[in-house]
Structure 1
Amino acid sequence: MEGDPVSLNSDLTEVKDKDVIQWTFENTLIAEINVTANRITVYDDVLDGRFRDRLKLDNQTGSLTITNTTTEHTGEYKLQINRVSKNFSLTVFDEVKSVKEGDSVTLNSDLTEMKDDDVIQWRFENTVIAEINVTADRFTVYDDVLDGRFRDRLKLDNQTGSLTITNTTTEHDGYYKLEGVSFSSKAFRVSVYDSVHCCGPTEAVIRLVLSALVGVATVIIVVYEIRSRRAERDQAHIHTSGSIEI
């Protein structure tokens, strides 16, 4: 989530004497360790300062932490250790949407209205699924892409650019991104769950506790019924015994 820190692990236990470790973002060097030169550097002023005061480099392992993340940090990272490389794909999103299968979900652009020269695009996993070009007066949903999983399910608000997905299925679970000319991009994580797997960890615990309480209540009622009937039977036995003695 935007604002959270994320650590990209080198998987090293320690840096060796002759190691040269470099971290790049979209082919731009952002951090470096040169053990021989005894140099540890973060280049946080590159790329218009989007990493300024956000990079922490572990001088023991070479791992990199990005703090206070924004959607501008979404992209491809590469770790080069001497001649060995490791790649990371990072997605930072603004909102998490959880929706039950069959329900609708709206991804809000947060715009009150679009400008005259706006061109905005909605993407699902890097595939364009909807587009607005105000200058060309064109509003388009590409609901036949991706084997038609969005067919007849996309509604585009021509005033704000917000996107609604109706009759959701688990195939719509994933990452969505809104890009435009006059505003910063937004990223969403949509989680679609079915009725069988509807509960998160917290809700599952609550359900278990409630089930346990209902079970205890049922046992109490059953025990009460057994004791009541036993008491009634004992009283009837006493009454019968007294009649015989008379």
Structure 2
Amino acid sequence: MKDDDVIQWRFGDENTLIAEINKRADRITVYDDVLDGRFRDRLKLDNQTGSLTITNTRTDHTGDYYLEINSEIRERFRVIVFVLESVMKGDSVSLNSPLTEMKDDDVIQWWFGDENTVIAEINVTVDRITVYDDVLDGRFRDRLKLDNQTGSLTITNTTTEHAGLYYLMFSGRFSSKVFRVSVYDSENNCCGPTEAVIRLVLSALVGVATVIIVVYDIRSRRAEGDQAHIHTSGSIEI
């Protein structure tokens, strides 16, 4: 950083200021109380480079982070904090929505995979529950159950084809709650000690938050300028 640099980190659709380094005034500020205190005691700034570290990440830290240098937005980082669910092949896995009760005008959709395919939907307005059995070559046929009170999704009789990312959308907006489902085989079909160790690690990681960071170069906006990093620790640096 230069002697006259002012670096600001902003978060979310409202571009809320969460951290700032002002070299001119020799001041570092983190705004712990914004956004209902979700970042309280979790932000660290590097006063040499301006990099931001978020510790003890939670799903409500999912979203877009903007790096602003001297009033100019330089980069956008999309952070996805997901919950890892590990399930044995043939068993069921439940993906719980954050709702305790759905409202009369709620529309909830569950999306799956890199192509963001809609696999299930609850439309309270028209009192309709839909599971899309025929998408993705029918891999979810007769396997999906929706809770019409909370919108939670249960996948029964799982296979390895059901492994991947599951996104929850409320009334046209993605929830901060994202799940990565890992499906492993029974120990009787284990191929070797390495696979057994991997399965034990996956089992131990059930419910642990993991982070994906996608970096967007605002200046160039070129696809080849994007970077992605995956971290399995509870903190991220951007």
Cα RMSD of the aligned pairs, angstroms, is: 3.7
**What pairs with 1:149-228 in structure 2 (closer than 5 Å)?**
149-180=139-170, 186-194=177-185, 196=191, 198-201=195-198, 203=200
Where does residue 208 of structure 1 map in the other structure?
Answer: none
Given residue 156 of structure 1, which amino acid in structure 2 is its aligned partner?
L
Q: State whether structure 2 residue 9 is matched by structure 1 residue 23.
A: yes
One-letter code aligned to 2:109: Q
Preserved contact between residue 103 and residue 168 of structure 1 (Cα < 8 Å) = yes
Cα separation, partners in 2 of 1:31 and 1:160, compared to 1, 3 Å: closer
Partner residue in 2 for 1:42: 30
One of 80, 85, 103 as aligned partner of 1:91: 80
Q: Mind listing any 5+ residue stretches in structure 2 that lack a counterpart?
A: 202-238
Which position in structure 1 is the counterpart of 2:225? none
Matched letter for residue 67 of structure 2 = L
Secondary structure of 1:69 counterpart: coil
Give the residue type in structure 2 aligned to 1:23. W
SS in 2 for 1:91: strand
The structure with the greater share of residues assigned to strand is: 2
Structure richer in helix, relative to its length = 1
> In the TM superposition, what are the counterparts of 1:12-161 in structure 2 within 5 Å?
15-26=1-12, 28=15, 29-81=17-69, 85-93=74-82, 95-109=83-97, 114=102, 116=104, 118-125=106-113, 127-145=117-135, 149-161=139-151
Q: Is the 8 A contact 1:22 1:32 kept in 2?
A: yes
**Which residue in the other structure is 1:244 paired with?**
none
How many pairs were matched up?
A: 187
Distance between the aligned counterparts of 1:103 and 1:202, measured in 2?
15
Distance 1:53 1:123, change over 3 A: same
Aligned letter for 2:3?
A: D
Quick one: higher RCO (CA 8 Å, sep 6+), 1 or 2?
2
Post-superposition offset of 1:57 = 1.8
Q: CA deviation at 1:74?
A: 0.6
Q: Kindly name which structure, 1 or 2, has the bigger radius of gyration based on alpha carbons.
A: 1
User: Does 73-82 or 110-119 show the bigger shift?
Assistant: 110-119
Residue 34 (structure 1) shift: 2.7
Unaligned runs of 5+ in 1: 1-14, 205-246
CA shift in 2, pair 1:35/1:114, >3 Å: closer
Q: TM-score normalized by structure 1?
A: 0.57
Task: Note if contact 1:120-1:133 (Cα within 8 Å) is conserved in structure 2.
Answer: yes
CA distance in 2, matches of 1:48, 1:117: 25
- Cα deviations by residue, 1:8-64 (Å, 9 ceiling, x for unpaired): xxxxxxx34344323222361322223233232223444454334432222233222
Cα distance in 2 for partners of 1:49, 1:76 equals 17
